[in-house]
């Protein structure tokens, strides 16, 4: 729509308002009704809405002196001229590979949304002296050289609201699950400043993943950023998925952002969430490998904006970015097409800021702001276990710890294949309940000693009994940490297993039967000491009396197990 069309429509609005019959006492409501219900023949909603809001503000600011309100309002309508808001028109110079170079947009700002012919939207990503470079959100085949471009004066945003829960959306917030339109409650910018230090509080509330290895040794707190890193096909997504499944009935909203994944993989994941009842508290944002690089680029920011809506309303949020390696590759493609100077591994110079400004938005807000939190689980894929590559080192330095998955462990059957030595949580015990902290004890130290002794004894066949016993104990611990996918443990189950293991009760159970023993033990304890199980789950505490009763119950079950 050009400026002449818009002025003609606004002129008709003036005529409509001037023609309103004047009744005593209700002129203001009549005028307001006329503005609210006026529909132009060719609406360009964003621009028209802005101009109508200007008119409403003019009418609202009129001094309401008794007896002269009607002529003042008519004078205000007659004299009102809409501000063009600095909106400028430009012309396409060149288009290709999702990148459009435009001249004439002198007032354009970085990150501003522009509209091409046919209603296709794009975003300004490069500012030059005589032209700007824009990325296109959609098919650029309808854009041709010489076609008009219009600024909107707005930065990129996404609709948000409770209606997004249980839905699958694309990188623009549009539903793609065939369930109809989403009822939105508001609109948020996809880029927003991270909460300041004063607006945060310490990360001290646990967010249980239900994975014994992680919750016992690398606990995650609400508001933390914990990186999941490893080679392809080592179970990175499986850990994130188990963490989502474990949030059932815990009042945590989960958001899964798929970046550059196969559409079939995303569909399979959504089906898994649906079968487990996890879609009742989850949102999936999908920018698959078949979508243009600009869509993959903005997807994590869209997911973060949706998460911030829930966080600022006092909810706890878990957001998974799967994965940021592909996100960096999409941004590298855009930057090279925009002719930016390449740096290390051909990434642009601001690739660190690309991820730091995203992950810094995860926080545990102070009580004054509602006390909500957003916990981030970014995923990064390594090549041949190289954690010293550019993107992995960037994100390791941004996050509050990492869970490193090792290919050798995975192929040896140790799943989840968490490398105890390279993994770390920088929040640590602050993000554990007292029961878990007491039960876990020195398990990480004992596993480290086992791994060291295992390497040393590879070169020796003559071992003393004490060494053999320690190796047997370590093998039992490693077997205990194996866990089936999509079967997260409850807190009391983890506590029972850890207390039993650290008391060396499983010492004489063969490593191959540890899994069978642990499942049977949990069933036995849930019947024999159900009061303790309920209390641990409810309070998160483990006293000496409870610990002694768990050990006694474990010994009873050991006798039953070994005699069968």
Is the pLDDT confidence value at 368 over 70? yes
- 34 pLDDT tier (thresholds 50, 70, 90): low
C-alpha closest to that of 405 among 477, 392, 476: 392
- 212: three-class secondary structure by DSSP: helix
Out of 87-91, 277-281, 368-372, 382-386, pick the least confident: 87-91
User: Does pLDDT of 495 surpass 70?
Assistant: yes
pLDDT tens-place string over residues 273-307: 999 999 999 999 999 999 999 999 999 999 999 99
Residue 163's Cβ-side half-sphere holds a number of Cα atoms within 13 Å equal to 16
Model's pTM, two decimal places? 0.84
Please name which of 510, 439, 522 lies closest in space to residue 475, comparing C-alpha atoms: 510
332 is catalytic: no
Q: What is the mean pLDDT of residues 203-226?
A: 95
* Residue 47 banded pLDDT, cuts 50, 70, 90: low
- pLDDT reported for residue 219: 95
For residues 351 and 50, the model is more confident at 351
SS3 of 313-341: CCCEEEEEEECHHHHHHHHHHHHHHCCCC
The pLDDT of residue 191? 93
* pLDDT for residue 233 is more than 90: yes
What pLDDT shows up at residue 75?
Answer: 58
Interatomic CA distance for residues 487 and 495, integer angstroms: 16
Q: Which residues of 27-56 are buried (b: 16+ CB within 10 A; e: fewer)?
A: beeebeeebeebebeeebeebbebbbeebe
Banded pLDDT at 451 (limits 50, 70, 90)? confident
Instruction: Work out the pLDDT band at 42, boundaries 50, 70, 90.
Output: very low
Predicted confidence band of residue 9 (pLDDT cuts 50, 70, 90): low
Question: Tell me: the pLDDT tens digits for 484-493?
Answer: 999 999 999 9
12 is written with which tokens? Answer: 């008709």
Single out the residue of 260, 309, 318 nearest to residue 286, CA to CA. 260
- Span 110-152, pLDDT tens digits: 999 999 988 899 999 999 988 999 999 988 888 999 999 999 8
Quick one: what percent of the chain has pLDDT higher than 90? 71
Q: How many C-alpha atoms does 391 have within 13 Å on its Cβ side?
A: 27
Would you state the pLDDT for residue 141?
A: 86
pLDDT at position 350: 93
Contacts with 177 (C-beta within 8 Å, 6 or more apart), sequence order: 167, 168, 169, 270
Specify whether the CB–CB gap between 9 and 48 falls below 8 A: yes
**Catalytic annotation, pick one of 340, 426, 513, 549:** 426
* Mean pLDDT of the chain, nearest integer: 87
Nearest Cα residue to 379 out of 397, 358, 404, 349: 404
pLDDT attached to residue 430: 87
Q: What average pLDDT does range 304-330 have in this prediction?
A: 96
The predicted model gives 478-487 an average pLDDT of: 93
Contact between 307 and 359 under an 8 Å Cβ cutoff? The reply is no
Residue-wise pLDDT for 408-418, tens only, equals 999 999 999 99
pLDDT at 89: 82
Report the percentage of the chain scoring pLDDT > 70.
Answer: 84
Query: Which string of b and e fits 490-520 if b means at least 16 CB within 10 Å?
Result: bbbbbbbbbbbbbbebbeebebeebeebbee
* Backbone phi and psi for residue 486, each to the nearest 5 degrees, phi listed first: 65, 20
User: How much is the pLDDT for 316?
Assistant: 97
* 58: its two tokens: 């003019």
- Confidence bin at 48 (pLDDT 50/70/90): low
Opening angle at CA 86, ends 85 and 91, nearest 5: 130
SS3 for 56-117 is HHHHHCCCCCCCCHHHHHHHHHHHCCCCCCCCCEEEEEEEECCEEEEECCCCCCCCEEEEEH
């Amino acid at each position: 729509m050009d400026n002449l069309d818009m002025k003609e429509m606004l002129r008709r609005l003036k005529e409509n308002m001037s023609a309103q019959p004047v009744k005593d006492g209700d002129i203001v409501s009549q005028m307001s009704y006329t503005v609210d219900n006026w529909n132009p023949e060719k609406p360009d909603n964003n621009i028209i809405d802005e101009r109508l809001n200007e008119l409403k503000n003019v009418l609202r600011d009129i001094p309401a002196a008794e007896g002269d309100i009607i002529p003042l309002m008519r004078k205000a309508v007659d004299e009102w001229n809409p501000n063009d808001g600095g909106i400028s028109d430009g012309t396409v110079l060149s288009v290709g590979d999702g990148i459009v170079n435009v001249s004439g947009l002198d007032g354009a700002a970085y990150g501003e949304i522009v509209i091409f012919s046919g209603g296709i939207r794009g975003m300004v990503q490069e500012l030059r002296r005589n032209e700007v470079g824009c990325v296109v959100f959609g098919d650029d085949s309808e854009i041709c050289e010489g076609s008009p471009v219009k600024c909107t004066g707005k930065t990129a945003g996404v609709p948000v609201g409770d209606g997004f829960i249980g839905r699958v959306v694309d990188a623009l917030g549009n539903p793609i699950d065939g369930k109809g339109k989403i009822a939105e409650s508001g609109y948020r910018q996809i880029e927003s400043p991270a909460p300041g230090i004063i607006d945060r509080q310490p990360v001290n509330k646990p967010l249980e993943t239900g994975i014994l290895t992680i919750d016992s040794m690398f606990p995650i707190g609400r508001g933390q950023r914990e990186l999941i890193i490893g080679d392809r096909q080592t179970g990175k997504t499986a850990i994130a998925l188990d963490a989502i499944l474990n949030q059932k009935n815990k009042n945590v909203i989960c958001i899964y952002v798929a970046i550059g994944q196969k559409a079939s993989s995303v569909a399979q994941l959504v089906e898994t969430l649906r079968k487990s009842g996890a879609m009742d508290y989850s949102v999936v944002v999908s920018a698959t490998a078949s979508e243009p690089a600009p869509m993959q680029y903005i997807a994590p920011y869209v997911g973060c904006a949706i998460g911030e809506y829930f966080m600022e309303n006092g909810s706890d949020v878990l957001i998974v970015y799967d994965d940021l390696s592909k996100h960096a590759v999409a941004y590298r493609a855009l930057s090279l097409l925009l002719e930016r100077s390449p740096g290390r591994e051909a990434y642009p110079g601001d690739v660190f800021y690309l991820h730091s400004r995203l992950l810094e938005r995860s926080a545990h807000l102070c009580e004054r702001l509602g006390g909500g939190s957003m916990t981030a689980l970014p995923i990064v894929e390594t090549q041949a276990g190289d954690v010293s590559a550019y993107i992995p080192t960037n994100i390791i330095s941004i996050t509050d710890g990492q869970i490193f998955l090792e290919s050798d462990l995975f192929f040896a059957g140790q799943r989840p294949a968490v490398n105890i030595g390279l993994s770390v949580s920088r929040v640590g015990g602050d993000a554990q309940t007292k029961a878990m902290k007491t039960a876990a004890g020195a398990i990480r130290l004992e596993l480290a000693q086992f791994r060291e002794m295992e390497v040393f004894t590879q070169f020796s066949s003559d071992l003393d009994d004490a060494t053999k016993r320690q190796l047997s104990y370590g093998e039992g611990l490693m077997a205990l940490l194996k866990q089936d996918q999509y079967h997260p443990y409850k807190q009391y189950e983890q506590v029972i297993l850890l207390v039993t293991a650290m008391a060396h009760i499983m010492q004489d159970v063969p490593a191959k039967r540890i899994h069978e023993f642990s499942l049977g033990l949990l069933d036995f304890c849930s019947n024999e000491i159900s009061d303790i199980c309920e209390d641990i789950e409810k309070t998160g505490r483990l006293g000496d009396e409870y610990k002694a009763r768990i050990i006694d119950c474990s010994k009873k079950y050991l006798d039953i197990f070994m005699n069968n």
